[in-house]
């Protein structure tokens, strides 16, 4: 898995960048889920957006499995007694 950090200066530029990313992902993959968030405002609110392309059931499966992976990584391993 590769990670790419893209810093975008304004909303118009951000929308263009996201549009290009979605087009590229749609051409390369049968399904994708893209979750983005903006920097929090001074009152702590954060705009979060999710977009997907492809089969809805497959997108839900991807999100569910990703959630399980994050849960496993965030919860320390417990030794069984």
- In the chain, which residues have pLDDT < 70? 1-10, 77-81
pTM over 0.85: no
pLDDT at residue number 81: 45
pLDDT at residue number 17: 86
pLDDT at residue number 7: 55
Q: Rounded distance, CA 12 to CA 65, Å?
A: 32
pLDDT tens profile 3-24: 555 555 567 777 888 889 999 9
Q: Rounded distance, CA 8 to CA 14, Å?
A: 5
CB hemisphere CA count around 69 (13 angstroms): 6
């Amino acid at each position: 898995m590769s990670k790419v950090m893209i810093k975008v200066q304004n909303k118009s530029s951000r929308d263009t960048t996201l549009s290009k990313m979605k087009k590229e992902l749609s051409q390369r993959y049968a399904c994708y889920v893209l979750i983005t968030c903006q920097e929090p405002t001074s009152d702590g609110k954060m705009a979060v957006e999710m977009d997907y392309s492809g089969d809805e059931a497959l997108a839900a499966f991807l999100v569910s499995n990703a959630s399980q992976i994050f849960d496993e990584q965030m919860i320390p391993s417990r030794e069984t007694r």
